Amino acid sequence: MTATIIDGKAIAATIRQEIAAEVEKLTGQYGRDPGLAVVLVGEDAASQVYVRNKRGACQKAGVSSFDHNLPATIPQEELLEIIRDLNARPEVDGILVQLPLPDHIDEGIVLESIRPDKDVDGFHPVNVGKLVANRASLIACTPLGIIELLDRMGVEIKGSNTVILGRSNGGHAKDQTGGHQTCKN
């Protein structure tokens, strides 16, 4: 078996061009740009980089970005109110709450407060359930991105053994499996 180097940057550039073209079509069809609300709570450096990159990607693709940079001390109820407002806004098509959240905020309650059809991370229990049941739903971006890379490289994954290291919701949750899981696809 020979190794294949995947040029992720080149594939990502192609995908970004495809998305920009699709966004242009959607804007023409609906009379407005698609909109993504990004909620960042606190000053986590890695989260700030991730969110900054998402905002830049939105701008390049023509997606409106609605930014909410909130202090780590925000009360949970105030955060939930912001999410309720974003759920109700028709110009907000997707909501991303950057994880991790501060310790005083119940992550589960926050993720459940996002409308499933606006949950771009696919973490809402409805979306997780649909994924497990193999029904159409929003899928978490990291595994979907990996599958897209493999598909574009022509790598057949059906029937293969897969190892997932550091599995979590958002890269931070405590893993109850000792840090890894082995799955069959």
Question: Tell me, what CATH number does 132's domain have?
Answer: 3.40.50.10860
Q: What is the pLDDT of residue 168?
A: 57
Catalytic residue numbers read 54, 98, 121
Domain of 53, in residue numbers: 8-24+33-159
Q: What is the pLDDT of residue 174?
A: 34
Q: What is the pLDDT of residue 20?
A: 95
Q: Report if residue 133 sits inside a domain.
A: yes
Q: What is the pLDDT of residue 40?
A: 97
Q: What is the pLDDT of residue 172?
A: 40
Q: Report if residue 177 sits inside a domain.
A: no
Q: Report if residue 52 sits inside a domain.
A: yes
Q: Report if residue 169 sits inside a domain.
A: no
Q: Report if residue 168 sits inside a domain.
A: no
Q: What is the pLDDT of residue 164?
A: 64
Q: Report if residue 2 sits inside a domain.
A: no
- Number of structural domains (the chain) is 1
Q: Report if residue 37 sits inside a domain.
A: yes
Q: What is the pLDDT of residue 44?
A: 92
Q: What is the pLDDT of residue 180?
A: 35
Q: What is the pLDDT of residue 96?
A: 95
Three-state SS for the chain is CCCCCCCHHHHHHHHHHHHHHHHHHHHHHHCCCCEEEEEEECCCHHHHHHHHHHHHHHHHHCCEEEEEEECCCCCHHHHHHHHHHHHHCCCCCEEEECCCCCCCCCHHHHHHHCCHHHECCCCCHHHHHHHHCCCCCCCCHHHHHHHHHHHHCCCCCCCCEEEEECCCCCCCCCCCCCCEEEEEC
Low-confidence stretches of the chain (pLDDT < 70) are: 1, 164, 166-185
| Token duo for residue 86 | 């974003």
Q: What is the pLDDT of residue 170?
A: 52
Q: Report if residue 64 sits inside a domain.
A: yes
